Amino acid sequence: DGGITQSPKYLFRKEGQNVTLSCEQNLNHDAMYWYRQDPGQGLRLIYYSQIVNDFQKGDIAEGYSVSREKKESFPLTVTSAQKNPTAFYLCASSATSGGPWEQFFGPGTRLTVL
Amino acid sequence: ILNVEQSPQSLHVQEGDSTNFTCSFPSSNFYALHWYRWETAKSPEALFVMTLNGDEKKKGRISATLNTKEGYSYLYIKGSQPEDSATYLCAPKAPRDILTGGGNKLTFGTGTQLKVEL
């Protein structure tokens, strides 16, 4: 089945540690995205990538890093510089050419900093 | 960052009621509008992508209209059912993102949380 997988579903981190969230898609989409959700707020864009080996900062990129070495994969690293990392993280992908394509979302990772 | 407002924030209706929500966005900076449904414990799922003023789209009992001149979109649910309970998110897309290479970058509203009770 085509879709987006994220792992792990739940993640616990100690303060000061970096942690990497996985996102894989087999939809053959060029574009991938990372969002963060906090209570009472909409989905906020962290980073996005429109093509392999290229990515751009979203609205709240500070304290995060990404890589896009393969079309299928877009891992997100939450670094110790992120002041408030406890949140729900969603990965998405979409086509890019020909129109405003809908985004397909993964199941999310809930990160808790202890 | 686009200023996106959704109202109401939450809504409780009875099974069989019809309901509607609003998404407001800057009319001067518009390219497309997405609607997503996000059920508890599931991933957000696209409902509609709309681009033209006056556009109306329908999927089963759910429909949406778009007014790009005044900067709003309505989502309607006819005869609400418990399975319609979800958070409904709208996300406009600005043309400047296309021009600057922003691709499909969306700005999401905070959503309308719908609860349909028996």
B57 and chain A in contact, CB less than 8 A:
no
Contact A42 B31 (CB under 8 A): no
d(CA B9, CA A70): 39
Per-residue pLDDT of chain A (114 residues; tens, 9 = 90+): 669 999 999 999 998 899 999 999 999 999 999 999 998 888 999 999 999 999 999 999 999 999 999 999 999 999 988 889 999 999 999 988 766 789 999 999 999 998
Residue whose tokens read 């089963």: B60
B99 shares contact with chain A (CB less than 8 Å) = no
pLDDT in tens, A43-54: 999 999 999 999
Q: Which residues contact B33 (CB under 8 A, 6 or more apart)?
A: B23, B25, B48, B49, B50, B51, B66, B73, B90, B91, B92, B93
Query: Which of B51, B104, B109 lies nearest to residue A94, judging by beta carbons?
Result: B104
pLDDT in tens, B25-67: 988 878 899 999 999 989 999 999 999 999 999 999 999 999 9
Chain B CB contacts of A107 under 8 Å are: 42-43
For residue B89, which residues of chain A lie inside 8 Å, CB to CB? Answer: 42-43
Nearest chain A Cα distance for residue B46, angstroms: 6
